[in-house]
Amino acid sequence: MMVAIGIVMGLLALYVVGLLWFTDRDADLQFDFAELRRTSFRFGKDFLWGSATSAHQIEGNCFNNNWFQFESAMDEQNRPRIPNHQKAGAACDHWNRYEEDIQLMRSIGLNAYRFSVEWSKVEVEEGVFDDRALAHYEQEVDELRANGIEPMVTLHHFTNPIWFENRGAFLQDNSPAVFGRFIEKIVARLGHKVRFWCTINEPSVYAINGYFRGEFPPALKDPKKVARVLRNLLRSHTEAYSIIKKFVPGAQVGLALSVFIFDPPSRWNLIDVVTAHLINKNFNGSILRYLVEGKYEFSFPGVASDSLESTVRDSFDFVGLNYYTRFYERLDLSGDDKIAGVIKAPPEKLTDMNWEIYPEGLYRALKLVREYTSKPIYVTENGLADDSDTKRAKFIEDHLLVLNKAIADGINVKGYFYWSLMDNFEWAYGYSKRFGLYHVDFTTQERALRKGSEAYLEMIRKGRE
Ligand code: IFM
């Protein structure tokens, strides 16, 4: 009897220690927003107030990349990949309207713009570069500068040229060298005009959605490939970092890291707690560790593991942080993904993506980055899909109040880019999700500033006082 009691007590103690060890101390963080409103603004004169976009989502005519193929294809059940078989197509026709769009940025007081260059338009076939595309991006950069807007260029934002996709894209170990050749061309052309560079956008989202969840091309479901792709994306980042710094030593180079907060649906369930911890570690912390120490470890016991050690450490000048929401994830051995999301927030706190509006998560994400580095952080994306425009104003205000609090608490944040300048093609969701500061009528291409976006203008105004 005593032995049995001893065993039970021991197991209980282990359980409690496990909970204490794996639980994120900040999971209960809650701010008093009335108090945050009273805190004076600390953004500073040089703060970058921007918006962000990506080429495939807004430019139009991206017909030479893997997304075009994906949008045109059917899935295994002969259903279109994108609802209503939508295709990015002409998108916002930004390629032809960039001058007008830059005026839209200027008219609302932005002093920065993050956008991506479309690899498939620049390197149309392997080793064949289109000088007109390079000239186009140079003109866009000139136009931004002429309007007092600091460009931040993303080199890879989810899309690959078809020729690169066909040979395995970032599954291939020579992908960093192939990507590097494109970077050399871009930097030779734009390097003297662009100070801020994001090498890769959201490596973990690209890897998981394309190689595990099947929502992005090539629509695979193989966790081992996720690990391999992530590894090669990180190697590609380092390659890009070295090339840019060689051409332009003063450039500021980072990657855009997507930090979703992962919490357990039940804080008393050790399996939930450990699952959330592992997801956080593999998809958030490990990428930061790689940037700082050059060491990457991907490990989901029994599912997939991979590691990478680079000779290059400290391969970044800033961290680009994309923050949107928190997910509650738990282990679910019955489902295909083995991990299942649980929605706990009430409808009034959900965006059109069904993502919880959770401004405290921005603080937690910033703190996570700060655990690894004190180098500057730029919030390279933050925003919401809200077609009714009933939640946008509060979302923007609350997130910027939290950002201000983080700065007041000593976190080195130098800029904020709202996602997105205008409604655009939201990948697997097509045109149904509207994130824009500007509403876009896709038949006339008319842009109209949303009422809710005025909160951004107001925060920028106060931030500059
Ligand atoms: O639209 C995307 C963007 O391309 C990458 N970050 C998240 C956004 C909203 O889902």
Question: What are residue 309's phi and psi, to 5 degrees?
Answer: -130, 120
What are the E-state strand segments in 135-282?
A: 150-156, 196-201, 252-258, 261-263
Nearest to 275 by CA among 24, 25, 26: 24
Q: Is 54 in the pocket of ligand 1 (CB under 6 A)?
A: yes
Q: What is the mean pLDDT of residues 91-104?
A: 98
CA angle in degrees (0–180, nearest 5) for 144-145-146: 90
Position 204 confidence tier, pLDDT thresholds 50, 70, 90: very high
CA 66 from chain centre, in angstroms, equals 19
Exactly one of 118, 150, 202, 329 is catalytic; which is it? Answer: 202
Active site residue 202: yes
Q: Is 165 in the pocket of ligand 1 (CB under 6 A)?
A: no
pLDDT over 80 (residue 336): no
Active site residue 371: no
Q: Are 195 and 148 in contact (CB under 8 A)?
A: no
Nearest-atom number in ligand 1 for the CA of 353 is 10
Q: Is 322 in the pocket of ligand 1 (CB under 6 A)?
A: yes
Domain residues of the chain, as ranges? 29-463
Pairing of strands 128-129, 123-125: antiparallel
User: What is the structure's pLDDT at 418?
Assistant: 98
Nearest-atom number in ligand 1 for the CA of 322 is 6
pLDDT over 90 (residue 137): yes
Position 17 confidence tier, pLDDT thresholds 50, 70, 90: confident
pLDDT tens for 417-435 read 999 999 999 999 999 999 9
Confidence (pTM)? 0.97
Q: Is 204 in the pocket of ligand 1 (CB under 6 A)?
A: no
Q: What is the CATH number of domain 29-463?
A: 3.20.20.80
326 Cα: distance to centroid of ligand 1 (angstroms): 15
Nearest alpha carbon, ligand 1 atom 10: 426
pLDDT tens for 141-185 read 999 999 999 999 999 999 999 999 999 999 999 999 999 999 999
Nearest-atom number in ligand 1 for the CA of 385 is 9
DSSP letters spanning 296-336: EEEEETTTEEEEEE-S--S--SSEEEE---EEEEEE-TTSS
Q: Mean pLDDT of all residues in the chain? A: 95
pLDDT over 80 (residue 240): yes
Exactly one of 140, 150, 381, 397 is catalytic; which is it? Answer: 381
Q: Is 263 in the pocket of ligand 1 (CB under 6 A)?
A: no
Q: Is 425 in the pocket of ligand 1 (CB under 6 A)?
A: no
Per-residue tokens: 263: 């919490």
